[in-house]
Amino acid sequence: MNDNYHVFSDGRIERQDDTVRVVTDDGEKKYLPVENAEAIFLHGQLEYNTRFVSFLNQEGVAVHVFGWHDHYAGSIMPKRGQTSGQTIVDQVRAYDDPGHRLKLAKAFVDGSIHNMRSNVTYYDGRGYDFEHVLEELEDARASLDGMGTIDETMGVEARARKAYYSTFDEILPEGFVFGGRQYNPPNNEVNSLISFGNSLVYANIVSAIRATALDPTVSYLHEPGERRYSLALDIADLFKPLLADRVIFRLVNRGQLTTDDFEDDMNSCLLNEAGRKTYSKAYEKTLDETIDHPDLGKKVSYQYLLRVEAYKLKKHLLTGEEYVPFRRWW
């Protein structure tokens, strides 16, 4: 079982009776079955101590911390179960070889565009006319071949994402005005949902990469960051349309999230606690959805697809087998 647990309450999180317990500020005690846990997401204000951290390390459970403005603040990762010097060496070699790096960067963008396209196609068939956006996405994808640098490749990704986001204002109902991507902080409901959703995807991929011996800081499309796990950013782009965005459309269009689930602060707009809870629940449900995997010959959960992606990349780096990015096939 690879469950994610989300803690929204304020209080303490601690080791108790060989498992994890949350004691809320109201004095309520809630237990979390540690054996089923993949990661614990902390959204509330929580205190913890070293005993808690070493316990989770021993159990192989990650903690992802979310801070002010729903920002991903960082992770406490268990020590590596997997270490392989060879993987790191191959990973860095691929980064250092401009041709190889460019090829991987293009693969990530190619997959991302395909997955954006898949969302647009879905709505194109449901009363919206997105023919022009589909063409724009196809043009962007076709232009990838001719790109000679990482910057140009990034430019293609930006162009595609802009076209993709242009559909949001039409798909989302009245009251949810988007008007283009803004973050730091998000300026309206839609941007705040995208930021929150993307940070959940990112944190899940940080966990998935940890299951391999890959180093999360050595990336190909994004520049290896000083403080970020930039490889997680590369892989997250592939999955944002499938995970983060579909959940937004579903919740907003069905009225399960309304403008009451947000609070406006000085020139920012953020999900409130109820909104974050609603979103995380729908998001976790999506991660549990399963799909027949043609290559693996079995049903796998969306969450497992994230791990498959990390394994595929590792295999490519070690054996040279072609890396084919995740493309929604259903």
Partner 1 sequence: MVYIVVVYDMEADRTHRMLKFLRRYLTHVQNSVLEGDVTEGDLEKIRSGVDEMLKPGESTIIYRVSSEKMVERTVFGDDPAADDQFL
Binding residues for Mn(2+): 157, 222, 237
Q: Which residues contact 105 (CB under 8 A, 6 or more apart)?
A: 150, 153, 154, 220, 221, 234
Answer yes or no whether residue 187 interacts with partner 1 by CB under 8 A: no
Answer yes or no whether residue 32 interacts with partner 1 by CB under 8 A: yes
Please pick, from the candidates 6, 101, 314, 316, the single residue that binds partner 1 as defined by CB under 8 A: 6
* Distance between CA atoms of residues 328 and 292, nearest Å: 12
* Distance between CA atoms of residues 17 and 23, nearest Å: 14
Please pick, from the candidates 35, 139, 223, 265, the single residue that binds partner 1 as defined by CB under 8 A: 35
Answer yes or no whether residue 19 interacts with partner 1 by CB under 8 A: yes
Q: Taking the complex as a whole, how short is the minimal distance between the CB of residue 255 and partner 1, in angstroms?
A: 20
Binding-site annotation: residue ranges: 157, 222, 237
Instruction: Select the span of 32-40, 85-93, 112-120, 225-233 touching partner 1 (CB under 8 A).
Output: 32-40
Q: Taking the complex as a whole, how short is the minimal distance between the CB of residue 177 and partner 1, in angstroms?
A: 29
Count of positions on this chain that bind partner 1 (CB under 8 A): 23
* Distance between CA atoms of residues 112 and 115, nearest Å: 5
For residue 157, what are the CA distances in angstroms to 27, 97, 106, 138, 172?
48, 21, 9, 12, 23
Q: Taking the complex as a whole, how short is the minimal distance between the CB of residue 277 and partner 1, in angstroms?
A: 6
Q: What share of the chain is helix, strand, coil (3-state, %, to 5)?
A: 50, 15, 30
Instruction: Select the span of 14-22, 73-81, 180-188, 229-237 touching partner 1 (CB under 8 A).
Output: 14-22
Answer yes or no whether residue 277 interacts with partner 1 by CB under 8 A: yes
Stretch 280-299 residues interacting with partner 1 (CB under 8 A): 280-281, 284
Q: 6 or 307, CB closer to partner 1?
A: 6
> Buried (b) or exposed (e) across 109-140, using 16+ Cβ within 10 A?
bbbbbbbbbbbbeebbeeeeebeebbebbeeb
SS (H, E, C) 33-48: CHHHEEEEEECCCEEC
Contact 163, 209 (CB under 8 A): no
Please pick, from the candidates 5, 164, 229, 326, the single residue that binds partner 1 as defined by CB under 8 A: 5
* Distance between CA atoms of residues 254 and 15, nearest Å: 39
Answer yes or no whether residue 124 interacts with partner 1 by CB under 8 A: no
Residue at 66: amino acid letter? F
Instruction: Select the span of 70-78, 240-248, 262-270, 274-282 touching partner 1 (CB under 8 A).
Output: 274-282
Which spans of this chain sit near partner 1 (rule: CB under 8 A)?
Answer: 1, 3-9, 17-19, 22, 30-36, 277, 280-281, 284
